[in-house]
């Protein structure tokens, strides 16, 4: 790639001017001087570097700074940190140089970003759960660290075309797994949408292109429809002298893809592919009144769907999002989603944290981002469990829909949908949660596992004599509650284990057994415990009593030879007839819940053979590797890479069948059931196991249980059934 330095320098200068021009925040002269210093340092630091595409490296930090300045809307400090986010990592400049030139705040953010970069390179993997947890701990320093990291990831996703395919898939999967949910939770909806679309582009390119083409094909008709609908609404709103604008937007490629998957329908059957947004100007204390007035005007002319009303003005989401969402039957009998927002609400929806912070005043009640960050920090500091579990819990709570409940004093609190009475107790305070004796919901005593719903009023009853037990983990769904319960149980377990070790030493002495590593290992084998702490804990709480210790001593002292013989047989089992039959009969591997045969190879570390208990591990560039469940690497793989493990089992390829359940619905007609059963019976590859149809007022629902040899046969069956006149929808259960 031949580069003209003059042209390149002109482009760099142009990008700098644009950065200042597009900033969401109003920049003072002091801010502009600060940004200029950061820009000059970045240009000098990266002067010799180029990206894989051949472009000068400086364009990357400038682009990240532009995303931070415009799309996310952060301040001058953040813009400077974005310009310098790779300087300490890749060049001769140090944090002290940055602090000397731009101050402690910028240096602190750059330090947090540098820490994340180092974490990411610990091992040659996509993103370890442990590293993700450590990355989130940087929130303790400054939330802007994570926000700039999201902007950095967005620009990397926008410029991935020159990378090899396996790297594209790796980075895109990581983005979908972690960064898109984080952007969603911080309220950066536009950034989240773009991250999701770009991730789909690289993880499922054919699906992405197919949906994109279909959106383009229907774009003209959609724009005409939006224009006509908007024109009518504008006329009605102008009569009431509203100051407003109406925007029409298509739903994102990823959200359409997700609906197609969850509803099991083709693109043509997704009805709400676009939404209208009414953005009105209003002073703060008139916003709610005007939103409902607009609602009234819209529903005077178009019938609303009462089940699709979402009032996030009276009770904002915990991300700070406020709006009124309604779905109405628009012209030509099409369902249309309409979002009603004030200009302030719209800014918060588009800019997230930055606008939320800008509009916060005095002691304004806030259930938004700051409260969430405080709760998150407590979860991070309390969490002592498995990192993979932590990430899964965290993601569950990121995407969960919300309910709104009340304290006895009438304060409004938001919790994830599915939260229980015990979750609420921990949400109020960790110490209240740990001492929960009972809970009253709407003035009635309920079990701790009672699932809450919006509008419930909850009172927690505490006792100093109560402490968390392991069965409490079955009563909670939030990461915060699980984390505190696990931490509390671990502390108690540790105390019992310390006492148990001394008790064991004392009890073994009269049995003439010395407590050492060899004895402990033999006791673990005998009692089938996983580790020494577990053994000491059971001794401490009395589960392993004197009688059991004497039985072990007899085995240890009198039949030592048999003990070792038994261990030897365990490690070298003699093949029996059944095992040989399994090896001969079960000759094909299938993977995942769908039990599909997939391309794979066998791991050289354990060399499994047909009939062995196995699992699949999805490698970065070698496809699926099959490991024995007792492989020496099994534990490490399953604890560190749970999201890359795929269940696997051996099956008899000559007689393999899969069960599936199909739910049908539509308009009833004479002979419909006969037509459906005849169509299935004519297909020799499909067996009907069970069939049930119900009809009410000309509408029918049906459930069919079938056995098929593979997914392709099932898909073909669904395709044929959908052509039957009267069948409106087929969903695989």
What token pair was written down for 107?
Answer: 């240096």
- What pLDDT, on a 0 to 100 scale, did the predictor assign at position 485? 87
Domain assignment present for residue 270? The answer is yes
The CA distance from 675 to 336, in Å, is 35
11 and 108 part of one domain: yes
What token pair was written down for 156?
Answer: 């990397």
Average pLDDT (422-449) is 89
Domain assignment present for residue 519? The answer is no
What token pair was written down for 421?
Answer: 């009475």
Angle at 398 between CA 325 and CA 304, to 5 degrees: 15
296 and 196 part of one domain: no
**Which residues neighbour 340 within 8 Å (Cβ) at sequence distance 6 or greater?**
278, 280, 291, 294, 295, 298, 323, 324, 325, 326
**Which residues neighbour 597 within 8 Å (Cβ) at sequence distance 6 or greater?**
588, 589, 590, 591, 710
Domain assignment present for residue 523? The answer is no
Domain end among 359, 387, 422: 359
Residue 64 has pLDDT above 90, yes or no: yes
Query: Mind giving me the DSSP string for 120-178?
Result: HTSSSSS--HHHHHHHHHGGGT-HHHHHHHHHHHHHHHHT-TTS-HHHHHHHHHHIIII
Domain assignment present for residue 110? The answer is yes
Handedness of CA 109, 115, 116, 121 (dihedral sign): positive
Average pLDDT (24-31) is 86
Taking the chain, what is the end-to-end CA distance rounded to the nearest angstrom?
54
Is 617 buried (19+), middle (13-18) or exposed (0-12) by CB count in 10 A? buried
CATH assignment at residue 674: 3.30.70.260
33 and 84 part of one domain: yes
Domain assignment present for residue 716? The answer is yes
Q: What percent of the chain has pLDDT over 90?
A: 17
198 and 343 part of one domain: no
Domain end among 359, 376, 398: 359
- How, if at all, do strands 334-342 and 274-280 pair? parallel
55 and 199 part of one domain: yes
**Residue 229 Rama label (left phi>0; alpha psi -120 to 50; beta):** alpha
Average pLDDT (491-496) is 82
45 and 174 part of one domain: yes
Reported as a single tens digit per residue, the pLDDT across 617-634 is 888 778 889 998 878 787
Domain assignment present for residue 531? The answer is no
The domain of 602 spans 577-651
The CA distance from 283 to 265, in Å, is 43
Domain assignment present for residue 292? The answer is yes
26 and 73 part of one domain: yes
CATH assignment at residue 180: 1.10.3210.10
Which of 492-496, 569-573, 575-579, 662-666 is predicted with the least confidence, judged by mean pLDDT?
575-579
What token pair was written down for 566?
Answer: 């038994």
User: CB–CB of 477/416 below 8 Å?
Assistant: yes
Q: Choose, from 89, 161, 411, 584, the residue flagged as catalytic.
A: 89
Domain assignment present for residue 275? The answer is yes
Buried/exposed 370-401: b ≥16 CB within 10 Å, e otherwise: eebbebbebbbebbebbbbbbbebbbbbbebe
- What pLDDT, on a 0 to 100 scale, did the predictor assign at position 139? 55
Residue 362 has pLDDT above 70, yes or no: no
H helices, E strands: number in the chain:
30, 19
Is 443 an active-site residue? no
The CA distance from 78 to 72, in Å, is 10
CB atoms within 10 A of CB 688: 13
81 and 139 part of one domain: yes
- What pLDDT, on a 0 to 100 scale, did the predictor assign at position 525? 81
How would residue 398 be classed by pLDDT, with cut points 50, 70 and 90? low
Reported as a single tens digit per residue, the pLDDT across 681-694 is 777 778 888 888 88
- What pLDDT, on a 0 to 100 scale, did the predictor assign at position 578? 38
Q: What percent of the chain has pLDDT over 70?
A: 82
User: CB–CB of 540/500 below 8 Å?
Assistant: yes
- What pLDDT, on a 0 to 100 scale, did the predictor assign at position 581? 38
Element (H, E) at 98: helix 95-102
166 and 56 part of one domain: yes
Element (H, E) at 445: strand 444-446
Reported as a single tens digit per residue, the pLDDT across 575-602 is 343 333 333 456 688 888 767 788 888 8
How would residue 295 be classed by pLDDT, with cut points 50, 70 and 90? very high
Chain mean position to CA 101: 39
The CA distance from 268 to 261, in Å, is 13
Q: Which of 435, 430, 418 is nearest to 375 (CA)?
A: 430
Which of 94-108, 261-275, 647-661 is predicted with the least confidence, judged by mean pLDDT?
647-661
The more confidently predicted of residues 507 and 697 is 507
| Threshold 0.85, pTM exceeds | no
594 and 714 part of one domain: no
Q: Choose, from 90, 243, 525, 622, the residue flagged as catalytic.
A: 90
Average pLDDT (510-535) is 82
Looking at the structure of the chain, the number of domains it has is: 4
10 and 156 part of one domain: yes
How would residue 566 be classed by pLDDT, with cut points 50, 70 and 90? very low
Distances (CA, A) of 446 to 439, 451, 474: 6, 10, 16
97 and 112 part of one domain: yes
Domain end among 651, 684, 705: 651
Is 90 an active-site residue? yes
Mean pLDDT estimate for the chain: 80
């Amino acid at each position: 790639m031949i580069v003209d330095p003059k042209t390149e320098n002109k482009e760099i200068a142009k990008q700098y001017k644009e950065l200042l021009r597009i900033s969401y925040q109003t920049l003072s002269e002091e801010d502009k001087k600060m940004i200029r210093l950061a820009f000059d340092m970045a240009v000098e630091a990266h002067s010799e570097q180029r990206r894989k595409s051949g472009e000068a490296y400086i364009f990357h930090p400038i682009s990240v700074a532009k995303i931070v300045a415009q799309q996310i809307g952060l301040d001058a400090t953040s813009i400077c940190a974005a310009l310098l986010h790779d300087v300490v990592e890749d060049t001769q400049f140090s944090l002290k140089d940055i602090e000397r030139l731009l101050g402690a705040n910028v240096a602190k953010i750059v330090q947090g970003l540098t820490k994340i970069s180092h974490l990411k390179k610990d091992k040659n993997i996509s993103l370890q759960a442990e590293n993700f947890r450590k990355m989130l701990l940087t929130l303790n320093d400054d939330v802007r660290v994570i926000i700039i990291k999201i902007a950095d990831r967005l620009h990397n996703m926008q410029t991935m075309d020159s990378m090899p395919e396996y790297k594209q898939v790796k980075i895109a999967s990581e983005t979908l797994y972690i960064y898109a949910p984080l952007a969603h939770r911080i309220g950066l909806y536009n950034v989240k949408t773009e991250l999701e679309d770009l991730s789909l582009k690289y993880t499922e390119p054919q699906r992405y292109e197919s949906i994109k083409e279909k959106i383009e094909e229907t774009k003209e008709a959609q724009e005409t429809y939006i224009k006509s609908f908007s024109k009518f609404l504008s006329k009605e709103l102008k009569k009431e002298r509203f100051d407003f604008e109406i925007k029409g937007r298509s739903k994102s490629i990823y959200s359409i893809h997700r609906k197609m998957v969850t509803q099991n329908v083709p693109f043509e059957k997704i009805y709400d592919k676009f939404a209208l947004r009414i953005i009105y100007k209003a002073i703060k204390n008139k916003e709610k009144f005007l939103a409902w007035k607009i609602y009234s005007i819209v529903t005077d002319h178009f019938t609303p769907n009462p089940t699709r009303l979402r009032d996030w003005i009276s009770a904002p989401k915990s991300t700070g999002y406020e709006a009124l969402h309604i779905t109405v039957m628009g012209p030509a009998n099409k369902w249309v989603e309409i979002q009603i927002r004030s200009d302030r609400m719209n800014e918060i929806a588009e800019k997230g944290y930055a606008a939320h912070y800008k509009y916060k005043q005095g002691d304004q009640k806030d259930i938004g981002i700051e409260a969430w960050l405080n709760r998150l920090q407590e979860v991070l500091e309390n969490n002592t469990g498995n990192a993979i579990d932590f990430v899964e819990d965290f993601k569950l709570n990121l995407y969960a829909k919300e309910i709104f409940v009340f304290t006895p004093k009438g304060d409004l609190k938001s919790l994830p949908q599915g939260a229980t009475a015990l979750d609420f107790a921990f949400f109020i305070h960790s110490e209240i949660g740990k001492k929960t004796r009972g809970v009253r919901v709407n003035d009635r005593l309920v079990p701790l596992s009672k699932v809450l719903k919006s509008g419930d009023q909850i009172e927690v009853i505490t006792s100093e004599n109560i402490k968390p037990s392991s069965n409490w983990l079955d009563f909670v769904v939030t990461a915060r509650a699980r984390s505190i319960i696990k931490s509390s149980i671990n502390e108690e377990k540790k105390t019992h284990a310390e006492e148990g070790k001394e008790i064991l030493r004392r009890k073994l002495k009269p049995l003439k057994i010395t407590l050492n590593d060899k004895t402990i290992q033999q006791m673990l084998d005998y009692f089938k415990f996983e580790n020494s702490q577990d053994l000491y804990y059971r001794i401490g709480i009395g589960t392993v009593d004197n009688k059991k210790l004497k039985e072990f001593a007899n085995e240890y002292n009198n039949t030592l030879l048999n003990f070792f013989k038994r261990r030897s047989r365990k490690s070298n089992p003699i093949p029996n007839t059944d095992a040989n039959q399994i090896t001969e009969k079960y000759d094909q591997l299938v993977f995942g819940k769908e039990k599909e045969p997939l391309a794979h190879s066998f791991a050289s570390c354990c060399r499994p053979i047909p009939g062995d208990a196995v699992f699949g591990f999805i490698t970065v560039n070698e496809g699926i590797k099959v490991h024995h469940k007792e492989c020496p690497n099994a534990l490490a793989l399953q604890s560190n890479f749970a999201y890359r493990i795929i269940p696997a089992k051996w099956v008899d390829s000559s007689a393999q069948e899969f069960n599936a359940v199909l739910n049908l619905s539509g308009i009833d007609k004479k002979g419909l059931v006969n037509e459906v059963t005849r169509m299935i019976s004519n297909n020799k590859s499909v067996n009907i196991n069970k069939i049930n149809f119900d009809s009410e007022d000309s509408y029918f629902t049906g459930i069919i249980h079938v056995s098929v040899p593979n997914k392709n046969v099932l898909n073909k069956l669904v395709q044929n059934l959908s052509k039957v006149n009267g069948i409106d929808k087929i969903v695989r259960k």
